[in-house]
Structure 1
Amino acid sequence: MDQQEWESLCDGCAKCCLHKFIDDESVVDAAPTDYLSQGEKIHYTNIVCGLLNTKTCSCTKYNERTKLVPECVKLTKDNLQEIFFMPPSCSYRRLHEGRGLPSWHPLLNKGKKSAMHKNGMSVRGKTVYDHDVEMEDFEDYIALWPMEDLD
């Protein structure tokens, strides 16, 4: 699979652009992690990266995103097994788990995102930008909808 084919697997929902945090009251200092420990839970917020176009659910600086936002998600064939932080509807995660592409995926809908948006599987109309909120208030922005999955 070449890079273009790999990129086409992305459903373009932009849920990877949501700020997430791990709930573990025993941790004093929060630090980036590559795994989820026993007793920890990921919480998704409706706060998105300021580079996201929330109408198209596309990054405005996609090719520069990991330089501009070092913690930005860049899924590859090599790090796919480390995607514990991706929501259950993520097409990469679904494929990794053997669940196949969802019926609303653009590849199954003539390359269009309209079925995804219509089914509420994208971030469109559900988010606020990280530069518009105080990050210490992130708990006020916890969202349950990123965990929803269809078929």
Structure 2
Amino acid sequence: MPGADRPFWTRPLASLGREEWEALCDGCGKCCLHKVEDADSGRIWPTNVACKLLDLKTARCSDYKHRRQYVPDCLRLTPALAASLEWLPETCAYRLRADDQPLPEWHYLVCGDRDAVHRAGASVVGKAISEVLAGPLEQHIDWGDEEPLEVERVDEE
């Protein structure tokens, strides 16, 4: 089979087995942050609010195997979804490989160090709050370079 001697993370996603697919995850935890969708525009806004199962010290799911039992809407990422979900972070290994891009130098498969993602500042460690403590998601939207919409309050008389 052509390319079989290449590291699996450089091969097309369709050629990966389940274990190889799972091993692509860089452990950043960004996909476990809640998103808010603008009802009018459909735009997805990221927040810094993490799923209750995300361990904020390691950026790993505390019960990955049973996560859908506790979080029924937890997404099962597939190669097709990796290529189509616009909200996946630009640094996501699944997204990069779906776009036929190389993994970043800090990815553990490249450098051999699972903590490199955190030292590179590419994970949610030290940047997220658990949904258990956060309160309303709207208070945690990451507006990026855009200013939040200002809402003028009108007191009813």
TM-score, normalised with respect to structure 2:
0.74
Q: Deviation digits for residues 38-95 of structure 1, max 9, x if unmatched? A: x432211000011111111111110011221111121123533332231211110111
Paired residues of 1:16 and 1:73 also in contact (CA < 8 A): no
Corresponding residue to 1:44 among 43, 46, 62? 46
Which segments of 5 or more consecutive residues in structure 1 lack a partner in the other structure?
27-38, 146-151
SS of residue paired to 2:37: strand
The DSSP-based 3-state class of the residue aligned with 2:79 is coil
Whether contact under 8 Å (2:36, 2:138) holds in the other structure is no
Matches within 5 A, 1:95-110: 95-110=97-112
Higher mean alpha-carbon deviation, 120-129 vs 15-24, is at: 15-24
- Whether the 8 Å contact between 2:36 and 2:45 is mirrored in structure 1 is yes
Residue 20 of structure 1: SS of its match in structure 2? Answer: strand
Q: Which residue does the alignment assign to 2:30?
A: 15
Larger radius of gyration: 2
Q: What is the aligned partner in structure 2 of residue 31 from structure 1?
A: none
Match of 1:121 in 2: 122
Runs of 4+ in structure 1 deviating by more than 6 angstroms, as ranges, are none
Aligned counterpart in structure 1 of residue 84 of structure 2, from 62, 82, 85: 82
Specify every segment of 5 or more residues in structure 2 that has no aligned partner in the other structure, as ranges. Answer: 1-15, 145-157
The 5 Å alignment of 1:54-65 reads: 54-65=56-67
Q: Does 1:143 align with 2:142?
A: yes
- Work out the percentage of aligned pairs sharing the same amino acid: 38
Change in Cα spacing, 1:85 to 1:45, as seen in structure 2 (3 Å) is same
SS at structure 2 position matched to 1:143: coil
Query: Is 1:92 the counterpart of 2:94 in the alignment?
Result: yes
Q: Distance in 2 between matches of 1:52 and 1:46?
A: 12
Q: How many residues align?
A: 129
CA contact (8 A) 2:96 2:103 kept: yes
**2:75 corresponding residue in structure 1:** 73
RMSD of aligned residue pairs (Cα, Å): 1.7
